[in-house]
Amino acid sequence: MWGTGLLKGLLISLRNWRRGPITVQYPYEKLELPERSRWAVRPKYFADGSPRCTACLACVRVCPDHILGLDVETREDKSKHIDRFSYELGACMMCGLCVESCPFDAIHMSHEYELATTDRGALNENLLENVDAASAARHKAEREAAEVAGGGLAAEASPPSARAEGGEAGV
């Protein structure tokens, strides 16, 4: 009666001892994050380095925490200029609704997870400043070029992360 419980406990301990350590020495070693992990919001860029954002405000409207801000100036020729695209990292709950609502695939959830800071001011970021917004026509041209290069609807049917690999610069 006492012996069987002790033997079962010893067998479990021996099995786990044989397996080896499963911990990671964090600052020196880092685990590979799953592709679907969500952290901070970051903008996406075209191959030439210009931002993909069209200043449509879809992400700002859908954000449940109201942490995204987009100051846009519409010029006489109907083009848009982004004065400031702000992001309040400290209040973001990383839900990803802004990314899902973006019709032009212009923002994504990055894999940056070391976001702690002692400075409150560092939690308010300007994602884009003083740049011209992309036009819907440019997005259409990029999509058509991807379809021609990819052989039909394959580029359109691929997940946003697969499309983003070729279109990001500097992220």
Q: What is the pLDDT of residues 125-146, one digit of tens each?
A: 999 999 888 887 888 888 888 8
Mean pLDDT in the chain? Answer: 82
Per-residue pLDDT, 171 = 41
Q: What is the pLDDT of residues 72-102, one digit of tens each?
A: 999 898 888 999 999 999 899 999 999 999 9
Element (H or E) spanning 34, and its range?
none
Q: What is the pLDDT of residues 57-75, one digit of tens each?
A: 999 999 999 999 999 999 8
Would you place residue 151 in the very low, low, confident or very high pLDDT band (cuts 50, 70, 90)? low
Q: Which of 27-31, 40-44, 53-57 has the lowest mean pLDDT?
A: 27-31
Average pLDDT over residues 103-123: 88
The pTM score is 0.67
Distance CA 143, CA 52 (A): 12
Per-residue pLDDT, 167 = 44
Distance CA 78, CA 81 (A): 10
Interstrand relation of 68-74 and 107-109 (parallel, antiparallel or unpaired): unpaired
Domains of the chain by range and CATH?
A: 41-167 (3.30.70.3270)
Would you place residue 166 in the very low, low, confident or very high pLDDT band (cuts 50, 70, 90)? very low
Q: Evaluate whether 108 touches 37 at the Cβ level (below 8 Å).
A: no
Instruction: Calculate helix-pair angle for 136-150, 160-167, nearest 10 degrees.
Output: 100
% of the chain at pLDDT higher than 90 = 30
Q: Identify the CA nearest to 41 among candidates 134, 139, 124.
A: 124
